[in-house]
Amino acid sequence: MAGLQADTPVPTSVTAHGQSRVLEVAFSDGAHFRIPFELMRVYSPSAEVQGHGPGQEVLQTGKRDVTLEALEPVGNYAVQPHFSDGHSSGLFSWAYLYRLGAEQDRLWADYERRLAEAGRGRDEPMPVAAGGSCSH
């Protein structure tokens, strides 16, 4: 199955906590993560965020208060979150959710470094894209 290897831990429970804005995921190997919606949003695996190749990533800002409006299952291998800022094109495989949970500290540090390098603040609104293209 796409996105699911034989040794990939699978979720045994997935709970979205609206008040604290975290996705709580327990996996079959005993791992348990609380992944902030903001982290999920700024690291969405979508082309809108990741680009179409290395160096084309779009730095996300203004996502601290983003919430989940829906979380749809995609087969037996992923979920598709619908965020309050309108972004809904990322498919989060079990392996990708596991990585977000397991590598949170490194990912947050990398995000903060990229913000600093760009001279941007975490809470700044996303810039309006030239040509009227979607900025979420």
- Mean pLDDT, range 52-74, rounded to an integer: 92
Terminal-residue alpha carbon distance, the chain: 29
Sign of CA dihedral 94, 95, 98, 100: negative
pLDDT score of 26 more than 90: yes
pLDDT reported for residue 1: 37
How far is it, in rounded angstroms, from Cα 90 to Cα 79?
Answer: 9
Q: What are the structural domain ranges in the chain?
A: 12-117
With a CB cutoff of 8 Å and minimum separation 6, the contacts of 63 are: 38, 41, 42, 85
Both tokens of 58, joined, read 């779009």
For 12-117, which CATH class?
alpha beta
